[in-house]
Each structure stands twice: as structure tokens, then as C-alpha cells.
Amino acid sequence: MIGNDIVDLDYFESPFYQHIRYLERVCLPEEAVAVRKSKNAVRALAAVWGAKEAAYKLVSRSSNPPHFVPRDFVTDLARRNSRRHLDELQVSWNEKQVTVAIFGNAQWLHAVAVFSPSCKLHWRVQEIRKPMLQAITPKDESESSRQLAKELLQETGLKNLSLDFLGKIPALRQRGSCYREIAISLSHHGRFAAAALAWAPGKSQPHAEAQSGLVMGGASRAA
């Protein structure tokens, strides 16, 4: 299973997201202290938010929490594991432990949550296409994330699978039956959409290289 969340960092630069009440609504006291002490508080807050949101999407697939309460999801910032292009956070909810991989650049931050850190990931982030000088609509957001899902399936050689939804949760189908070997998650925020796949090592591994972040976008293109 998998959950993912994309964060448009431009939004976290605004006074609303930096206000103390927002920080207290999202973070537990120790998390808020860590965000304030960070060298880049905007990015740190976005990472905490993205990790919690991705973890919520993951646990929602099996536990069905009634609604998202950010402070119910605890990020263990003391155990933060940083490598060259990846931050890894541990998030807990009730008795469940979640590993969240965080990728990003100067414009966006992408959080991908799995229960097992040994899961293989394949993901993509892309700027949402829209008509010139027009605002992004919910339809644009939905179509962009679904198109990313189709591209990921094609890249991994899984052309026989199709995207479906179980309620609001995205799933994969093969010849009309639910395909559970590989999990998929979609998200969008601001200017960006994202999609991610996860599969267990040794199980129906796609052709694409594991842990590959295929980043598209940068400049807006007309639809």
C-alpha cells in the first residue's frame, strides 16, 4: 500500500502558512520547535505537512480514519534520515508506523508513504497544464494526476493495468479484477500533480528502476 502528497512550496511562503496558529494546528509542540529551529522553516513545515498527509492516505486504505487530523500523526524528526536526494521521516498513528520518503526541488516537495522501507518506488511530479492566463481548475488537477498514473504504468511495462477508484482511493485493475501486487497513489496541490507506485521486492517488479524519480515540468505549457 502507498500514500503520497505533493506540496507547492509557493503556498508555504505566504503569511497564512507561517502564522503561529497554523503551525500549532498542524504540529505537536516538539514538531513546531523543530520547524522553527530549521535552517529553512518553510521547507521544514512543508515536509511535516506532506509526511502527515501521505501517511493519512496510506492508513486510510486499511484503517479508515474518519477525517484527517494532522496532530494525530506524529513525525519523529529526531530519527530523520537524510541522504543526497532524499529525506526519510518516520510517522506514527495509533500503533501504526509509517516510513515517508521525501523528494523535492526549489518549487515542490513530494512525500511518499509506505509501511515497509524495503518497498520499491516509482513516481513522477509534473506541472499542471492549463490554458494560457487561466486559473487551474479541479478538472485540470484531476486530469493531470490521472495522466501521470497512465504514464507511470506505461513506463513500467504495465500496459495491461487500468486505473480505477474504490470510493475515493485509487486502485489498479487487470481484466476487471482488482490488482493488489502494486499500489498507486495520486495527489495535486497548487501548480503540481503527482503519482506514485509501490511494490514489494520480488513481487511483479516493473521494468523501471526502483526509487526512480522522473521529474517533468518546470514551465507551464498550454493545454
Instruction: Choose among 139, 165, 162, 140: nearest CA to 150.
Output: 162
Q: Supply the pLDDT for residue 118.
A: 85
- Between strands 120-127 and 169-174, the pairing is unpaired
Task: Please list the residues that pair with 83 across neighbouring strands.
Answer: 86
Helices (H) and strands (E) in the chain, counts: 5, 12
**Per-residue pLDDT reduced to its tens digit, 171-186:** 999 987 888 889 999 9
- CA–CA distance, 62 with 33 (Å, rounded to integer): 32
Instruction: Please report whether residue 223 resides in a domain.
Output: no
Model pLDDT for residues 44-81, shown as the tens digit of each residue: 999 999 999 999 999 998 887 778 999 999 998 766 66
Report the number of distinct structural domains present in the chain. Answer: 1
Tell whether 220 is covered by a domain: no
Residue 116 lies in a domain: yes
Residue 163 pLDDT level (bands cut at 50, 70, 90): very high
We report the CATH number of the domain holding residue 149 as: 3.90.470.20
Q: What is the pLDDT of residue 53?
A: 96
Pairwise CA distance, residues 147 & 42, whole Å: 29
Q: How confident is the model at residue 209 (pLDDT cuts 50, 70, 90)?
A: very low
Q: What is the mean pLDDT of the chain?
A: 83
Three-state DSSP string of 62-115: CCCCCCCCHHHCEEEEEEEEEECCEEEEEEEECCEEEEEEEEECCCEEEEEEEC
Do the domain assignments include residue 211? yes
Angle between helices 41-60 and 29-37 in degrees, nearest 10? 140
Mapping DSSP to helix (H, G, I), strand (E, B) and coil, where does residue 156 land?
coil
Residue 13 lies in a domain: yes
Residue 222 falls inside a structural domain: no
Q: Please, are residues 170 and 220 in contact by the beta-carbon 8 Å criterion?
A: no
